[in-house]
Amino acid sequence: MLHQPHPYPYSMPIRIVFNLHINPPPMPRCLGGGTLSSKLQKWRIGKLKLTPMTRLQYAVDAALGLAAVHDIDGEGLSSVAHGDLKGQQYLFMNGAMKLGDFNRGRFLRRNSTAPQTACTYTIGKNDGVFRSPEEYNYLPQTSAIDVYALGSILYEILTGKPVWDEKDSKDSRKFIMKGRLPKIDKKILESDDLVDVALREAISMCYVFDPKDRAKAADIASYLEEKQSELQKITNVTSRTSIKRQKTDEKEMMGRPKNEIQLE
């Protein structure tokens, strides 16, 4: 029998309730793996080792989870906005990272006068320092707010620090409203590590002031998957080259006189 793929590989299933908000089904008591935020916090304080490729995998999964929610009604126009995207909402379940907690989520109706766009909405109180400029300016919102928030998650995956960690929350929100971006340490900003480069580019795709110009979650997921594939190929080639070199060295050692080997 062929294995059937899980119907929700990157997000928790969504349940509609009578107030037209979006909620997940009851959460299982034992998730086992914790949240993305908890893993990044342990990494930050030195209690967990995360390799660059592991962090890139987290970034890929975070983007895929959001893309799955945005495209729940098929590719193209988003019909759902999460509305509260942050690391705590990504849960590790059976080895997979899934997006949950849709209590601030909104269904997005198609605009009857402009069918290629969705109707906008607003929420009365937007807290935190991870949200988009339009949220803190209390302007009409779309699913693009989630993409900006994804940038804040990727920022923490890149730097190990929560976004705007060194600033007062009120001041940070004012900066975001004006389009200012959180600083990245010079060492990370100038790093030529391929994972750092990929994460910086993905963040720049998210942190776009005008929501109309912001990339879609699916585009960011595709970009990160592409970079991940490229890095895996490089890693595989490097590994094969290293093994081949090791075998060559072993053959050379076996062909040399014993006394010559001992003298070294």
Q: How far apart are CA 168 and CA 189, in angstroms?
A: 23
Residue 26: its pLDDT value, please?
46
Reported as a single tens digit per residue, the pLDDT across 69-112 is 887 665 567 888 999 999 999 999 888 899 988 888 888 887 77
**What number of other Cβ atoms are within 10 A of residue 250's Cβ?**
10
Both tokens of 95, joined, read: 């080895």
Within a domain: 2: no
Please name the helix (run of DSSP H) or strand (run of DSSP E) that holds residue 81, with its range, or none: strand 80-81
CATH of the domain at 256: 1.10.510.10
Both tokens of 161, joined, read: 């620090």
Q: How far apart are CA 106 and CA 103, in angstroms?
A: 9
Within a domain: 121: yes
- Following DSSP, what letter does each residue of 87-100 receive, concatenated? GGGEEEETTEEEE-
Residue 171 has pLDDT above 70, yes or no: yes
- Following DSSP, what letter does each residue of 150-169 receive, concatenated? HHHHHHHHHHSS-TTTTS-H
C-alpha to C-alpha distances, 111 to 20, 100, 214, nearest whole angstrom: 18, 27, 19
Residue 224: its pLDDT value, please?
98
Least confident of 58-72, 205-219, 239-253: 239-253
Query: At CB < 8 A and 24+ separation, what contacts does 234-238 make?
Result: 234/194, 235/53
Q: Which of 1, 87, 81 lies closest to 39, judged by CA?
A: 87
Within a domain: 153: yes
Least confident of 24-38, 77-91, 127-141, 156-170: 24-38
Within a domain: 6: no
Structure pTM? Answer: 0.80
Within a domain: 4: no
Within a domain: 211: yes
Residue 31 has pLDDT above 70, yes or no: no
Q: Which of 201, 194, 193 lies closest to 231, judged by CA?
A: 194
Domain extent at residue 155: 15-263
Region 38-67 average pLDDT: 95
Both tokens of 231, joined, read: 């890095």
**For the chain, what percent of residues have pLDDT higher than 70?**
75
Within a domain: 1: no
Residue 28 has pLDDT above 80, yes or no: no
Domain count, the chain: 1
Within a domain: 7: no
